[in-house]
Structure 1
Amino acid sequence: MNRQSSISGVILAGGLARRMNRQDKGLVAFNKQAMITYAIQAIVPVVDELFINANRNIDHYQQFNYPVITDKRDDFAGPLAGVYAALNACHHDVLLVTPCDSPFMPTAALQTLIDERERNAADIAVAFDGERIHPVFMAINTTLKNSLQDYLAQGERKIDRWFEQHNWIKVDFSANPEFFSNINTLAQLADLAIKE
């Protein structure tokens, strides 16, 4: 695949999953595979290196044979802490971010995020389903590391407020909102598995 930039990738699996009885979502079985497996399959074709961001069960995540990075904080500070950990670890100009709990996101859509960020010369490209943004699906310029460090140091957590500090774009996936079906509860896990 010809790309103008080399791409780093991170799968965010560092949350507490409070709505799933604190089970580690990336490791929960969905249709007989750990949920993170779907994210790995989607992102690997479009990145040059891949990290898994996790704060628990590190040994289990290491079995997927990609470097596992932690938030380097003990307060489970949310997705931006995982993004910041990846920005500290990655070696390329662009970081592609995806969560561990959205098994229907295809590779082509992730490539679209990369392409649209580059085409628009944006700092950040974020997925948009026609109604709302999905900020954990994004492609970002890795030069934003210091900006994110400062933002987190101020005690900030809201992703969209950080976006507003930069040249960011929404990438329209309104034709395929199903890409963003994610699994936050045990009921959703059962419901979506039945449909598959």
Structure 2
Amino acid sequence: MKKTFDTEKKLYTLSLLVQDIPGVLSQVARLFSRKGYNIESIVSGETSQPGVTRITIVILGDELMVNQIAAQCRKLIPVMVVKILDEETSIQREFAMIKVKAVDRNARDEVIQMANIFRANIIDVSRETLTVAIFGDKSKTSALIDLLDDFGILEMAKTGTLAIERGRSSIYDDNKLREEYNYGKNVL
């Protein structure tokens, strides 16, 4: 029986564990570029295991495309694990710092009130600006940015999406799959 894939384009989150070696992030990103896939967000950072880096990639595509790129990532020598994270069973967050014009007391008060409503923090204050830091899901961050835009955003820095599975599930659960990924890589 042939498997059918959903052809609707949506955002997919891939989580990879890779060996922490120079150029590994570039190698993974080049794979997406060669295949003509646009990366919406990419974040790389250390894990609890020495020598292992976690890369979280968000791409816009359909189910078939995501499964194909995941399979291609698994073939890369430094890649240990690849997991497609489901939106319902994972926690996805991003971080943003937004520098906003606040030229008078009323503007400053309004920005501070908005930051409080969104549980954001004011991390820098000057006579004419406030810098707001927010951590949350993409919709929360976007909503605050839209409201702050009325004051005049001078500068903004955002991370990509960070993601981890909910509950007891983890990227380390697929021991059988991890062994399959590594099969043949050690032969080279």
Q: TM-score, normalised by structure 1?
A: 0.32
**Which structure dedicates a bigger proportion of its chain to helix?**
1
Give the structure with higher Rg (CA).
2
